[in-house]
Amino acid sequence: MEQSIIFFDIDGTLVDEQKNVPQSAKDAIRELQNQGHIVAIATGRPQFMFKEIREQLGIDTYVSYSGQYVVLNGEVIYTNPIHKESLEQLTKIALEHNHPVLLIDDKEMRATVPDDEFVAQGFGMLLNYVKLSQVEAEFIQTGSVYQASLFCSTEDQQLYDAIFPALSFIRWSPISADVLPAGGSKLEGIRKITEKLGIPPERQYAFGDALNDMEMLSGITNSVAMGNGLPEVKAVAKFVTKTNEDDGIAHGLKLVGLL
Residue of 9, 11, 213, 247 marked active site: 9
Sheet containing 147-151: give its strands across. Answer: 133-134, 109-111, 101-104, 147-151, 176-181, 167-173
37: alpha, beta or left, given left = phi > 0 and alpha = psi -120 to 50?
A: beta
The secondary structure element, H or E, covering residue 68 is: none
Judge whether 9 counts as a catalytic residue.
yes
The secondary structure element, H or E, covering residue 192 is: helix 186-197
b vs e for 131-158, b when ≥16 Cβ sit within 10 Å of the residue's Cβ? ebeebeeebbeebebbbbbbbbeeeebe
Which residues are catalytic, by number? 9
